Amino acid sequence: MSVDELGGRGWTHVQPLPPLSSLLLPWWDKSRADLPWRRTTDPYAIWIAEVMLQQTQIAAVIPYYERWLARFPTVEALAGAPLDDVLKVWEGLGYYSRARNLHTAARRIVAGHGGRLPDTLDELLKLPGVGRYTAGAVASIAFGVRAPVLDGNVIRVLSRVFDVAEDVTQTATRHRLWQLADDLVPAARPGDFNQALMELGQLICVPQAPRCLICPLAAVCLARQRGTQLERPVRPARKRTPHFDVVAGVIWRGGGPSAEGQFLIAQRPHAGLLGGLWEFPGGKLEPGETHADALRREIGEELAMEIAPGDFLVEVAHAYTHFRITLHALHAAYVAGEPQHLGVADHAWVTLDEVERYAFAVTDRKIIAALRLLSQANSGVKAE
């Protein structure tokens, strides 16, 4: 199939399709980065790496990947571990549904596949958390299956090589890009080709300042020829990111802040954002509420407890994928009411030393850090 046959504005190119593999693979063989998941042929390790690399920088993934395989070296080890342990090892990597899906999928692989990762696209796609990209990456890299991949880096490379003038967020354009990626994958070394295409986008065909002079695809890149590199890929203008003010309480039982004192932590429901992680309970401010008012209301709604909000502890700003928050953490005193799980999955009373057993999101880790600084100040210990 030629690109002309795909139809649509901006899809023209010489016929037949340019032999990208003959240009990319020699570059890959000479220049590819030495990464830990490229030193193994274990399908399980490759799967873990591909999931961790989703929406996460390589440099951030490497230490997590190594710690994960040290703790869960096999599918069986992952399947047999409690979810809390899995989330603790994942702590700080973000997008925690990935960890929950890995855990669920591992149990399914052990129960239904004898502990061996499926080696076909159809079977991989049946696993929780495995979409078309992950299935294609694992199938091609681990099993040599001729299958395409399409992530942000590949979209950028293809959009420039073929000078795609259509919005890549549109379903029809995305469908054509998948078809194009499929047409380009060679029968020989499909995994290397896919990795080369992704690495080209990571290192050479970068968003703001593409390094066209050293690109192995420069001779066949239409965007370079036409001077449209910085206009590709085409995406709609970004919408303004919503912002929310959020309050959280460090609720002390039997006294105020101290290294030995106990405070309440709550586990988020397993479904939804940050599912299964632990947190300092609280929630969004409603219009007209003070931080103290919002904290009293949220604790009543989530745990049926009465508290007395106290001093401010720390403010944390954080950006999620589709919104931003400013988190205001307050000390509070427990007053009355046995904690009930109305809006949480579980609760625990812990000391500052005991809190390390639990997995928290990055915002709550910053509250813990503030508590440690306060504890050091109160005890006269100099912080490092």
326 Ramachandran zone, left/alpha/beta (phi>0; psi -120 to 50): beta
Hey, how many other C-beta atoms are within 10 angstroms of the C-beta on 280? 25
What are the tokens at 210? 């593409």
Identify which of 303, 361, 304, 311 has the alpha carbon closest to the alpha carbon of residue 333: 311
The question of whether 50 is a catalytic residue gets the answer: yes
Q: Which residue has the tokens 């890959």?
A: 28
Name residues whose C-beta falls within 8 Å of residue 88's C-beta, 6 or more positions apart in sequence. 357, 358, 359
Single-letter amino acid code for the residue at 363: T
Range list of β-strands (E), the chain: 243-253, 262-267, 278-279, 282-284, 306-319, 324-336, 346-350
Q: Which of 5, 50, 279, 338 is catalytic?
A: 50
User: Hey, which residues does 306 pair with through a beta bridge?
Assistant: 336
Cα-Cα-Cα-Cα dihedral of 193, 199, 203, 205, to 10°?
60
What are the tokens at 297? 């209301």
Residues with active-site annotation: 50
